[in-house]
Amino acid sequence: MNITPLPRGIYSPVLTPFTPDLEPDTDRFIGHCKWLLAEGCNGLVLFGTTSEANSLSVQERLTLTDAVVEAGIAPHRLIIGSGLSAIPESVRLTAHAAALGCAGVLMLPPFYYKGQSDEGLARAYAEVIDRVSDPRLRVYLYHIPKVSGVAVTHGVIERLLKDYEGTVVGIKDSSGDWDNTRGLLEAFPGFGVFPGSESYMLDAMKAGAHGCITATANIAAGALRHLYDGWQTPQAEALQEVVTATRLAAQSKPMIPGLKAVLARRDGDDGWLTMRPPLMPLDAAGAEELFAALEAAGFDFPQAAAAQ
């Protein structure tokens, strides 16, 4: 049985840098992972939505994961995005993460065929879990219906917990809806619920959340960690106001190109702006509008690790 403590805290879905020819930039990726941990992240999610995961091949994900571990980042600090529409591909990614000793996998439901039953979605998850058949495996379900078009419902969770309690251990709720997050926390006490937005992180922590998995951690890990560490202190409301203001400013532009624009400014390196199509970088005017919004929110722009 897996007795490693369940992940808790601030997890960043790590942005994926690309070279000019659109290949993953491994060195820059590792450097950003190390910087995020130094900034205060408790752990990292490799290949979430913010990572442009669905623009990466299975082999690219495997190669990058191995490179991060070989660079000295402990697997128990990693959650690996492994949910794809094809079950064999999800199995390959999931088995690899379990074999490395990663803290878990973040698994989208099969998202191409819309309108499927709870039973069908639960069976798809079950097929992956059964084929991997590794007692070290921990699965976090990924609910992001605005992007995937497929919801992870209470019915799906109930079916999976019936047969896979101890393996299916949590969910990232990227609905952006506090009522949905609160409903999960109330319906499944002890389940590892991570909201995907820090805008209501304090309320979520008070209700039993295990932390937050948020794109904004790519640029604001320190402030988020302060809130996580201090949510029970008298300063908690003020800390929440800080991270909410940053979140609202960051999401005023498309999140992935916006976050990459901030890192390009951090490093003085436009290489961060590269994305795989169809995603496109912000134009110069859009980037300046984003920076102005962040400055108005009181955001402290991050400094590159080499400059610290």
Q: Which residues are catalytic?
A: 49, 112, 142, 172
Q: What angle do the packed helices 236-250 and 284-296 form, to 10 degrees? A: 170
Intra-chain end-to-end CA distance of the chain, in Å: 42
Say how many CA atoms lie within 13 Å of 78 toward its Cβ. Answer: 29
> Is residue 68 within 8 Å of residue 29, measured between CB atoms?
yes
d(CA 185, CA 162): 17
Whole-Å CA distances, 87 to 91, 98, 162? 6, 16, 21
Best CA proximity match to 140, nearest among 184, 88, 197, 182: 184
Whole-Å CA distances, 170 to 116, 134, 196, 226, 276? 22, 17, 13, 23, 30
Best CA proximity match to 144, nearest among 213, 216, 225, 65: 213
> Is residue 23 within 8 Å of residue 6, measured between CB atoms?
no
Chain centre distance of CA 228 = 16
